[in-house]
Amino acid sequence: MGEGTVLLRRSSLGDVVLLGSVTAVLPGPVTVVTAPEWVDVASRLRGVHRVVSWPKEAEPRDVAAAIPPGRWVDLQGSLRSARLWLAAGRWTRRIHKHGVRRRLVLLGVPVRPRPPVTAIYARTCGVVQTPTPWIDLPRSTVDTLALIPGASRVTKRWPADRMAAVGRAWQGRVAVLGGPGEEALCAAVARQVPGATVVAERGFAGTWEVLARTRLAVGNDCGLVHLAGACGIPVVAVFGPTHPLDGFWVHRGEVVQVVNLGCRPCTLHGRDHCPLEDLACQDVPSNEVIEAVERVQERWCVG
């Protein structure tokens, strides 16, 4: 086996999932170095041979000592990742995030939006990105709608009652997915959808089981939506303060959003509070999302 490739990407879930766009075509064996909470996800990406845990509190030299030989590619592009490859004494190709271009777009300067994150990964690694699915799951009875009401920031969460309305319109099983700390939010959605089940967990054991039978997913701009998309599941995503042209929309399906709103996007990853205190970016009617679900089913859900 040759020397292979080492990818550094500690956070976040969505960014780690998007590594799947390149892992299957990199010179192998492929090692991913990531945060402990994403080890299970990274290990399932096509082409990944090994995953090295990168705890937040760990000394860079200790993490570096656990990494096998290979060509290092820093797809985190942070001070923390620089400390890691400097501790290892390794020359590393490093991601260019096109932050200046993004700021110019926000200021109304007529320049092209930054490329999708998957295209940036591919360019940094010197390969051609691959389409989804990037994660293989056993599929049997595929009849479930997965509702994903959470997100890392409160401002990115579409109202729970509107999410529930989408669930009530679905003809089939409904599961509400979330991560740690989102139990109450998921339960609030499930209570409004007869027969809905909840999986809100630290880890992914139950999440994999739901995704294996998911026909279509509806959620916010968040890591679990990217995870569903990486499994080849069509997705309807509600984008509020963030924007798909910032490079994070790469999946089969549709984005639903409030258009022609001058304050969008206010940030790359969302805020804890709306600066204008009206959250107008989340005023997406439930019927628009239901109609998007119908279109996505007709186009992408076969069988």
Domains of the chain, each with CATH number or no CATH? 5-125 (3.40.50.2000), 144-300 (3.40.50.2000)
CA pair distance 244, 250, nearest whole angstrom: 9
User: Which helix (DSSP H) or strand (DSSP E) does residue 186 occupy?
Assistant: helix 183-190
**For residue range 50-88, what is the model confidence (pLDDT) as tens digits?**
999 999 999 999 999 999 999 999 999 999 999 999 999
pLDDT attached to residue 251: 95
How does DSSP classify residue 55?
Answer: -
CA pair distance 41, 208, nearest whole angstrom: 10
Asked if 166 contacts 147 with a C-beta cutoff of 8 angstroms, the reply is yes
Q: Report the pLDDT averaged over residues 241-265.
A: 87
Instruction: Answer yes or no: is pLDDT of 256 > 80.
Output: yes
pLDDT attached to residue 275: 78
CA angle 117/231/204 to nearest 5° reads: 100
Asked if 167 contacts 174 with a C-beta cutoff of 8 angstroms, the reply is yes
**For residue range 208-231, what is the model confidence (pLDDT) as tens digits?**
999 999 999 999 999 999 999 999
